[in-house]
Amino acid sequence: MFRDEKVALIPVGSTEQHGPHLPLGTDFFTAQALAESVARKTGAICTPAIPVGVSSHHKQFWGTLWVSPQTFRQYMYEIGTSLGYHGVRRMIYVNGHGGNFPSLQEISRALRLEGLHALVFQWWTDPAAAELEKSLFKGKGTHAGGVETSMVLAIRPELVDTSSYEEAAKGASATFGITKFGAQLPVDTLDFSQSGATLDPREATVEAGKQLFQAAEESLLNLTRWLEKAKDDELEPKPHKD
């Protein structure tokens, strides 16, 4: 029951192009599947998934929706404070979209000043999933390539258009973004990828997706249990030094 639970999982993603072969909802579908599965196993609360995030860099592709980082931060912060009002003072933003990360990290710090403890979990930066990725795929996984396509094949296979793999691969970039002399240029996806994808979705398999999902799920499960049991003084800011 809501009033008895200590930890909430907040799935958050985006509605954005993922090449011609993956659904616009890819990032919140993956976040939601992980959060719901861990909530079922731990008893933690799972809030509704937040489907729109910081995605203006995909704007030239049909169907992409976005909000500004300011709007996103405010909205996600207030979801945190409303959970706090119900006495749920510990939460995990289960993030499915890289563009949301700086904002989520920022509000987690701001929430801590209010006595609320928020963490950010992302399946593709989870060390266990990242390690597995190295052994399963030739290319390092980023946007709409073999890795992400495998994840969607594992959770929503009916939404993957395998007949568009070729088209996705043909216009794909080798990396996500453009770097010059160590500086990341503030470019849009269309500046470096014609299909909207990075790397090759033809590497994707259901089996690889299931393994990745399981690895990330186990990490999120352990994180949730840790957060549930952590002592307050492990989470709270230290008092000022003498």
Instruction: Enumerate binding residues for Zn ion (CB under 5 A).
Output: 26-27
Angle between helices 206-229 and 26-42 (to 10 degrees): 50
Cβ nearer to Zn ion, comparing 13 with 84: 13
- Smallest distance, Zn ion to C-beta of residue 39, A: 22
- Smallest distance, Zn ion to C-beta of residue 98, A: 8
- Smallest distance, Zn ion to C-beta of residue 97, A: 6
- Smallest distance, Zn ion to C-beta of residue 44, A: 24
Cβ nearer to Zn ion, comparing 27 with 126: 27
- Smallest distance, Zn ion to C-beta of residue 218, A: 21
From residue 3, alpha-carbon distances to 60, 88, 90, 110 in Å are: 44, 8, 13, 24
Q: Which amino acid is at 191?
A: D
- Smallest distance, Zn ion to C-beta of residue 26, A: 5
**Upper half-sphere CA count for residue 237 (Cβ side, 13 Å):** 12
Cβ nearer to Zn ion, comparing 80 with 145: 145
Name 82's Cβ contacts closer than 8 Å, sequence gap at least 6. Answer: none
Whole-number Å distance between alpha carbons of 108 and 75: 13
Q: With left for phi above 0 and alpha for psi between -120 and 50, is residue 134 left, alpha or beta? A: alpha
Name 46's Cβ contacts closer than 8 Å, sequence gap at least 6. Answer: 8, 9, 11, 35, 36, 38, 39
Query: Does residue 136 sit in helix, strand or coil?
Result: helix
- Smallest distance, Zn ion to C-beta of residue 117, A: 27
Query: What does the DSSP 8-state code read for residue 18?
Result: B
Cβ nearer to Zn ion, comparing 116 with 172: 172
* Cβ atoms of residues 94 and 7 within 8 Å: no
Cβ nearer to Zn ion, comparing 42 with 64: 64
Residue nearest to Zn ion (CB): 27
Cβ nearer to Zn ion, comparing 84 with 141: 141
From residue 118, alpha-carbon distances to 15, 47, 110, 147, 178 in Å are: 23, 14, 9, 27, 32
Cβ nearer to Zn ion, comparing 42 with 95: 95
